């Protein structure tokens, strides 16, 4: 399974701020959206998706940890880090899974960035402002079911990354991947989960090249999942992965007639759109088996379906589980014996 759970607010609105003095006000607006998108409620819906498919391995993106310092010091040049937990997405989701009787554990994670900014909390005329600090850590996480053995875990950030605007100081917004050997039954695969850059194609392509380079000599089947941020309609990074012998499993889906397009992105940032806005595929499950028959790579029968893409999937209060849909695939990948 691949699942971008969504940070819960429009971070781009903060990154687009040109005047540093306006950042606390925009952050306060973003915080209101974060509260309104209610991750604890959404986590229940995501846990229900997992219960439906019960995948052996789950690649999660945008697993967020929010912490608060009140009052804050960042607006005045302070550097004391916020430590009081406001929302811990990983803890909330694991508890939601446990409540449904699902036994999953964290087997790998990578921190992509740690950023703290001031947030406007009040104004007393004529000129007294009050601020908290809000701190966000972003992670990619892999969960494994209790019957999966995991070894040789690698968690790494890419060398290629998109710098934040100068008003955010020296904060580095990286992307990363988590890779591991996963044994399901008698077969072992290299399972890789990632979240490529969304804004700049050249950086996204460089990240893909860096990732592929890490398993050029891998003889085990490779399963690559994630929010790859490259449209399966044929964008360059997608085409590059195909050129490296990765097969887009959706194109081999035996039950694609149940959802022919397989679209996964994107719902509105506030998650309250009442029509399905999904119009492209960027959340993908790709496989390289290294087994060929008649010039066609053999990856076995694929049974794949999209979750979080129907109005019935919305939470009781009318929220989509995420701004993305997720994908679950049942794979029968042959293993080449040397």
- Bridge partners, 324 (sequence order): 265
Distance CA 219, CA 233 (A): 29
pLDDT(51) > 90: yes
Does residue 338 register a pLDDT over 80? Answer: no
Whether 337 is covered by a domain: the verdict is no
Total domains in the chain come to 1
- What is the Cα–Cα distance from 128 to 2, expressed in whole angstroms? 46
* DSSP class of 81: P
Judge whether 135 lies within some domain.
Answer: yes
Q: What is the pTM of this model?
A: 0.94
Does some domain include residue 122?
yes
Q: What pLDDT, in 10s, does the model give residues 172-213?
A: 789 999 999 999 999 999 999 999 999 899 999 999 999 999
287 token code pair: 């496989």
* pLDDT tens, residue by residue, 90-133: 999 999 999 999 999 999 999 999 999 999 999 776 767 899 99
Predicted confidence at residue 319, as pLDDT, reads: 98
How far apart are the C-alpha atoms of 190 and 179, rounded to whole Å?
Answer: 7
DSSP assignment of 248-282: EGGGGBTTGGGSSS---B---TTS--SS----B--
Three-state DSSP class for residue 30: helix
Q: Which SS3 state, helix, strand or coil, does residue 200 take? A: coil
What is the CATH classification number for the domain harbouring 126?
A: 3.60.10.10
pLDDT of residue 337: 62
Q: Kindly report the average pLDDT of the chain as a whole number.
A: 93
Identify the pLDDT of residue 127: 65
Look at residue 336 and tell me if it is in a domain: no
CA distances from 296 to 242, 245, 288, 290 (A): 12, 10, 11, 10
Q: What is the 3-state secondary structure (H, E, C) of 96-154?
A: HHHHCCCCEEEEEEEEEEEEEEEEEEEEECCCEEEEEEEEEEEEEEEEEECCCEEEEEE
Check: CB of residue 196 under 8 Å from CB of residue 207: yes
Query: How do 247-248 and 222-227 pair as beta strands?
Result: unpaired
- Whose tokens are 């019957």? That residue is 147
| Distance from C-alpha of 117 to C-alpha of 30, rounded to nearest angstrom | 12
Q: What Å distances lie between residue 69 and 37, 134, 160, 168, 171, CA to CA?
A: 21, 7, 31, 18, 18
Residue 286 pLDDT greater than 60, yes or no: yes
The answer to the question of residue 105 being in a domain is yes
Question: Residue 84: which domain range?
Answer: 2-331
* Per-residue pLDDT at 15: 80
Instruction: Specify which residues 188 forms β-bridges with.
Output: 183
CB 5 within 8 A of CB 331: no
- For residue 119, give every residue at least 6 positions away whose Cβ sits within 8 Å of its Cβ, in sequence order, or none: 24, 27, 28, 31, 72, 131, 132, 133, 134
């Amino acid at each position: 399974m691949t699942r971008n759970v969504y940070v819960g607010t429009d971070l781009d609105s903060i990154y687009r701020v040109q005047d540093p003095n306006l950042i606390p006000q925009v952050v306060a607006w973003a915080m209101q959206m974060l509260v309104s998108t209610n991750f604890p409620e959404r986590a229940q819906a995501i846990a229900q998706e997992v219960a439906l498919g019960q995948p052996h391995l789950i690649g999660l993106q945008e697993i967020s940890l929010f912490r608060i310092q009140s009052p804050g010091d960042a607006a005045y040049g302070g550097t004391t880090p916020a430590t009081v937990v406001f929302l811990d997405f990983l803890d909330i989701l694991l508890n939601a899974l446990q409540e449904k009787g699902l036994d999953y554990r964290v087997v790998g994670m990578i921190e992509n960035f740690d950023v703290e900014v001031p947030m406007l909390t009040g104004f007393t005329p004529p000129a007294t402002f009050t601020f908290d600090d809000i701190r966000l850590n972003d992670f990619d996480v892999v969960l494994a079911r209790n019957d999966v053995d995991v070894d040789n875990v690698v968690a790494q950030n890419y060398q290629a990354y998109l710098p934040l605007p100068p008003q955010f100081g020296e904060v580095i917004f990286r992307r990363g991947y988590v890779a591991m050997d996963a044994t399901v039954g008698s077969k072992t695969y290299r399972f890789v989960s990632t979240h490529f850059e969304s804004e700049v194609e050249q950086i996204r392509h460089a990240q893909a090249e860096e990732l592929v380079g890490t398993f050029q000599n891998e003889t085990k089947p490779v399963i690559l999942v994630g929010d790859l941020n490259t449209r399966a309609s044929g964008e360059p990074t997608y085409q590059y992965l195909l050129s490296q012998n990765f097969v887009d499993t959706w194109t081999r889906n035996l039950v694609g007639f149940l959802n022919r397009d397989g679209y996964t992105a994107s719902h509105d940032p506030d998650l309250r759109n009442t029509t399905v806005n999904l119009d492209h595929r960027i959340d993908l499950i790709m496989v390289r088996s290294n087994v060929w028959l008649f010039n066609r790579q053999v990856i076995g029968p694929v049974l794949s379906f999209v979750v979080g893409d129907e109005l019935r999937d919305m939470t009781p209060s009318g929220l989509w589980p995420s701004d993305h849909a997720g994908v679950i695939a049942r794979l029968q990948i042959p293993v080449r014996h040397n």
